[in-house]
């Protein structure tokens, strides 16, 4: 666990994604922001017991957005603690099973994009626990010293959180504090303010504007969904650098045309570019299968050769004619060689 600021602790889940324990200002009261991957319940419970007291529970769970690596353990934790889950209204259709997010774009490039082909698309259904925050009230439920900001482009109802008093920013996946296009870089957690979630960004212009909005806050401490805590002048400087030179990919499904969403889910999708990897994988797999079959066949032939040779040689030796022994046809040149 790492301290982002007074009363704000970052917990890294499976070396990949972050959750945040944020104190409300009332002793013993806190809120959990995001819940990590599925299966993170025990890790989060143990961290809460260590930070506060055994059996401690939050006032609520607030999700920055509903992607699986942020929502994954929300239902289990909310049921365990008997607390609500709060999201932006535009996230409701996705976290209640009414809609699917815009499809990921594995053709955009990078190792995260490659891996995204294998990520599940179905999400746990939070219908019994979820509540929408008031879209007209920028104050954060249970965290009166914090305000939320709507930062779409990566998810339609993505939220970031800012505490003006000490300029602390929880930036969700509007950007990352590591090189998020690379899975190895995410696991190593080398600090670097960069664009986030490339294969999941469905609106690149909205993503750029969200980063510009957050850079204008001049944060002095930053924690995101992915990557380490960054504190000090380099926080604002790095975010301004990203905002001023936001790198939109050169190719990909959403580069020239974004997906469009509304309160019900996805309204429009641009056509998907051809993904050649499955075909390449099928060709490689077929080649490996053919090579394996040839290897097995060759091995069997050699085994037959050996048995035939030994049998013929023994027979020749027994008859006293082994000096003029001629190998059997299976062992000589031609089909059997």
Give 63-83 pLDDT, tens digit per residue.
Answer: 999 999 999 999 999 999 999
pLDDT at residue 333 is higher than 50: no
Entry pTM: 0.81
Tell me which residue of 153, 157, 190 sits closest to 174, measured CA to CA. Answer: 153
Residues 292-326 have pLDDT tens digits of 555 555 555 555 556 665 676 677 666 766 555 55
Q: Please, which residues bridge with residue 129 across strands?
A: none
What pLDDT is recorded for position 239? 97
Q: 41 or 14: whose pLDDT is higher?
A: 41
pLDDT tens per residue, range 16-33: 899 999 999 999 899 999
pLDDT level of residue 187 (50, 70, 90 thresholds): confident
Specify the residue for token string 């960004």.
Answer: 201
**266: closest CA among 100, 124, 148?**
100
Tell whether the model's pLDDT for residue 12 goes beyond 60: yes
Note the pLDDT tens digit of each residue in 262-293: 999 999 999 998 887 754 443 334 444 545 55
CB atoms inside a 10 Å sphere around CB 232: 10
Q: Please give the Cα distance from 168 to 162 (Å, whole number).
A: 6
Per-residue model confidence as pLDDT tens digits over 123-162: 899 999 999 999 999 999 999 899 999 999 999 999 999 9
Task: Tell me which of 48-57, 130-139, 326-335 is least confident.
Answer: 326-335
So what's the pLDDT on residue 164? Answer: 97
pLDDT in tens, 115-126: 889 988 788 999
pLDDT tens, position by position, 220-266: 999 999 999 999 999 999 999 999 999 999 999 999 999 999 999 99
How high is the pLDDT of residue 285?
A: 41
Q: What's the confidence (pLDDT) of residue 100?
A: 95
The strand pair at 8-13 and 2-5 is best described as antiparallel
Provide the 10 A C-beta neighbour count for residue 236: 21
CA–CA gap between residue 129 and residue 141 (Å, rounded) = 15
* CB of 1 closer than 8 Å to CB of 47: yes
| Cα distance between residue 119 and residue 321, in whole Å | 69
* Tokens found for residue 121: 């698309």
pLDDT of amino acid 275: 82
Range 74-109 burial, b when 16+ CB lie within 10 A, else e: bbbbbeebebbbbbbebbbbbbbeebebbbbbbbbb
Encode burial over 126-140: b for 16+ CB neighbours within 10 A, e otherwise: beebbeebeeeeeeb
Which of 19-26's residues contact partners 24+ apart within 8 Å by CB, and which partners? 19/44, 20/170, 20/223, 21/47, 21/48, 21/51, 21/58, 22/143, 22/146, 22/161, 22/170, 24/59, 24/142, 24/143, 24/144, 25/144, 25/145
Give 32's DSSP letter: E
65 close to 172: Cβ distance less than 8 angstroms: yes
């Amino acid at each position: 666990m790492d301290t982002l600021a007074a009363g704000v602790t970052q917990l890294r889940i499976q070396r990949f994604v972050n959750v945040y324990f944020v104190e409300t200002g009332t002793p013993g009261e806190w809120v959990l922001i995001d819940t990590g991957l599925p299966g993170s319940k025990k890790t989060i419970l143990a961290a809460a017991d260590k930070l506060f007291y055994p059996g401690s529970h939050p006032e609520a769970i607030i999700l920055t957005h509903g992607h699986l690596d942020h929502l994954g353990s929300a239902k289990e934790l909310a049921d365990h603690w008997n607390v609500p889950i709060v999201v932006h209204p535009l996230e409701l259709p996705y976290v209640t099973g009414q809609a699917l997010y815009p499809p990921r774009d594995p053709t955009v490039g990078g190792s995260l994009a490659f891996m995204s082909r294998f990520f599940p698309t179905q999400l746990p259904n939070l219908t019994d626990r979820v509540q929408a925050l008031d879209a007209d009230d920028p104050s954060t439920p249970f965290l009166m010293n914090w305000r939320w900001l709507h930062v779409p482009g990566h998810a339609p109802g993505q939220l970031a959180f800012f505490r003006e008093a000490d300029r602390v920013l929880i930036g969700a996946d509007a950007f990352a504090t590591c090189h998020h296009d690379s899975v190895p870089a995410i696991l190593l957690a080398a600090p670097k303010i960069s664009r986030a979630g490339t294969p999941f960004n469905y609106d690149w212009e909205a993503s750029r504007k969200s980063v510009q909005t957050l850079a204008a806050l001049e944060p002095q401490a930053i924690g995101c969904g992915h990557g380490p805590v960054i504190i000090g002048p380099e926080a604002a400087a790095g975010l301004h650098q990203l905002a001023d030179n936001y790198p939109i990919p050169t190719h990909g499904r959403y580069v020239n045309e974004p997906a469009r969403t509304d309160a019900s889910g996805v309204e429009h999708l641009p056509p998907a570019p051809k993904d050649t990897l499955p075909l390449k994988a099928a060709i490689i797999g077929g080649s490996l299968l053919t090579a394996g079959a040839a290897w097995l066949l060759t091995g069997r032939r050699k085994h037959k050769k050996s048995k035939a040779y030994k049998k013929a040689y023994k027979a020749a030796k027994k008859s006293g004619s082994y000096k003029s022994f001629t190998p059997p046809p299976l062992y000589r040149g031609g089909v059997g060689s």
